[in-house]
Amino acid sequence: MSDETPSPAAPGRADPPRRAVVTGAAGFLGSHLVEELLRRGTEVVGLDSFLTGTPENLAHVAEHPGLRLVRCDITDYVHVPGDVDLVLHLASPASPVDYLKLPIETLKVGSIGTLHALGLAKDKGARFLLASTSEVYGDPQVHPQPEDYWGHVNPVGPRGVYDEAKRYAEALTTAYRQTHGVDTAIVRIFNTFGPRMRPYDGRAIPTFVRQALAGEPLTVAGDGLQTRSVCYVDDLVRGILALASSDLTGPVNIGNPEERTVRQIAEDVVAATGSRSSLVFVGRPVDDPQVRRPDTALAASALGWKPEVEWADGLARTVAWFREAVVAGGAGTAQGSR
């Protein structure tokens, strides 16, 4: 939990931010956040190194007068001219394929990149929001996971580069709040899905959808009885912006508390795609969590947030996007930093 426990009626900000900086803006989640901020009338400066993100994710808003997309490595010198009201720090490789291939880059963006993003917020007097992750809970021994659970993480395992980068980023964000008085918040994001995910990013849902559409067997890790709680991206964006608009410091879990086995997710994907694909069972990755489910009581009471998009509806939208992007050869190879 945060060091300041908010009341359920935590006051928010009266006006939406006039100008926001989004790091990792061209990734899966970052692009959806940029799109919603623009819809709400906020001017956005999007920063992205395009290491795992791509401008294709923002092609549909590229000509929007309120958007400025800049190639920028947040681990290098960062300068944004003019006023800024909100800094949303999402930059990081987030899929296992990415952070296992880019371990040093993952650790650098969680440490140096977070330091620079916090420095920008401090310089501008802006609200700062860190996109952390449910991975800080590791392979949890408490279920569901509340914000005051410290986690069960293997710091030297293959997933440690991502887990520890985010845990360090949380500590650094807290230190900037306590030492420099920066207005900070931490969101812990649970498994998210939706359009613009990469078909080869290694995460279960895009992998299953790609395989089902191609008529290939769906590769289910282990016995498939491990559980995940998956949240449609539109709901997650609402939760993040609700936290950004509040006075909460966090951390706050944002995710869908409805739990499913990985095997059930695979079977639902087969049904949603109309595929004849079978399931095949393969070895589980090292330190793969057995269970993952957020306790969202704080988000519900303090932010009035809960997921609204049903699993079947979100999956249908995701499959429809993959059919167009992957099968038709559109943006199917698009990258995504979250």
Catalytic positions are: 162
The alpha carbon of 23 is separated from its chain's Cα centroid by a whole number of angstroms, namely 12
> What is the helix (H) or strand (E) element at residue 47, kind and residue range?
strand 43-48
Residue type, position 325, single letter: A
Closest to 159 measured CA to CA, from 135, 176, 177: 135
Element (H, E) at 67: strand 67-71
Residues contacting residue 301 through CB under 8 Å, at least 6 positions apart: 8
Distance CA 288, CA 141 (A): 13
DSSP state of 56: G
DSSP 280-333: EEEPPPTT--S---B--HHHHHHH-----S-HHHHHHHHHHHHIIIIITTSSTT
The DSSP string of 192-233 is: EE-TT--TTSS-HHHHHHHHHHTTPPEEEETTS--EE--EEH
The beta-carbon contacts of 310-316 under 8 Å, at least 24 apart in sequence, are 311/230, 311/232, 311/256, 311/258, 311/260, 311/268, 312/268, 312/272, 313/232, 314/193, 314/194, 314/230, 314/232, 315/193, 315/205, 315/268, 315/269, 315/272, 316/272
Distance of CA 158 to the CA centre of its chain: 20
CA torsion sign for 168, 173, 176, 178 is negative
